[in-house]
Amino acid sequence: MNTFAKAGLSSSQILTTLRTQGIETTLTSKDVSNVPQKMRTEELNGISPIRWLLQVIHPSFQNDCCCMYT
């Protein structure tokens, strides 16, 4: 399911794909949409998405964003 989510398929597309492959599942669309959200949360490692982005763009950025703009 991670592969499908990373490929950008929607939750309903992932469910349809699983079912057409003969995989019986009781998953709902919400269950499927929770998988990429969990992956993003793990990647963020407890920081906000904006802080993560700033750290990716500007690796020396830590906790004090003011230092970047002064």
pLDDT tens digits along 11-62: 888 888 888 888 888 888 898 888 888 888 888 888 888 888 888 888 776 6
Question: Using CA atoms, how far apart are residues 49 and 44, in angstroms rounded to an integer?
Answer: 7
Q: How many distinct helices (H) and strands (E) make up the chain?
A: 5, 0
pLDDT at 27: 85
Estimate to the nearest angstrom the gap between the alpha carbon of 37 and the chain centroid.
4
36, 5 contact by CB (below 8 A): yes
Q: Write down the domain spans for the chain.
A: 2-69
pLDDT at 68: 52
